[in-house]
Amino acid sequence: MTDRTSIENWVSRYRVAWESNDPDDIRSLFTPDAEYRTGPSDAPWRGHDDIVAKWIEAADQPGDTTYESRVIAVDGDLGVVQLRVDYREGRLYDNLWLIELDADGRARSFVEWYMKRPEGS
């Protein structure tokens, strides 16, 4: 059963993968048949090979960002996370993540929404 702690642990592991861009770190987050959507209406990245390839293609460099996150809801296997991501060069984003975890703590579905904050926010 998914709970707040399992979602928080997954987000911590996501951050490790975000900083390392290591294919094994990325793969460890997702079930082999997982879907990763970079927006609610975007076509999903499907499965480990697709997720790893597209993640690395769009990767941020280690140390480029700081972030704050908090789990705002858990319903069944679904966790909802709110984030604020700050890029070193000054871009700021507000994010919402929907994460559906499998029994082993890997995501079978991940959807993100992100909005750029206005300058000075």
Residue 20's pLDDT is 95
Residue 9's pLDDT is 96
Give the three-class secondary structure for 93: strand
CATH of the domain at 80: 3.10.450.50
* Structural domain contains residue 56: yes
Name the pTM for this structure: 0.91
* Structural domain contains residue 99: yes
Paired strand residues for 30 = 107
* Structural domain contains residue 73: yes
- Cα–Cα distance list, 76 to 31, 55, 65, 117 (Å): 18, 27, 31, 31
Containing domain of residue 74, as a range? 4-116
Task: Provide the number of structural domains found in the chain.
Answer: 1
Sorted by sequence, the CB contacts under 8 Å of residue 4 that are 6+ apart come out as 71, 74, 79
Residue 119 contacts residue 91 (beta carbons within 8 Å)? no
What is the full per-residue pLDDT of the chain (121 aa) written as tens digits?
789 999 999 999 999 999 999 999 999 999 999 999 999 999 999 999 999 999 999 888 888 888 899 999 999 999 999 999 888 887 888 999 999 999 999 999 999 999 888 765 5
* Structural domain contains residue 82: yes
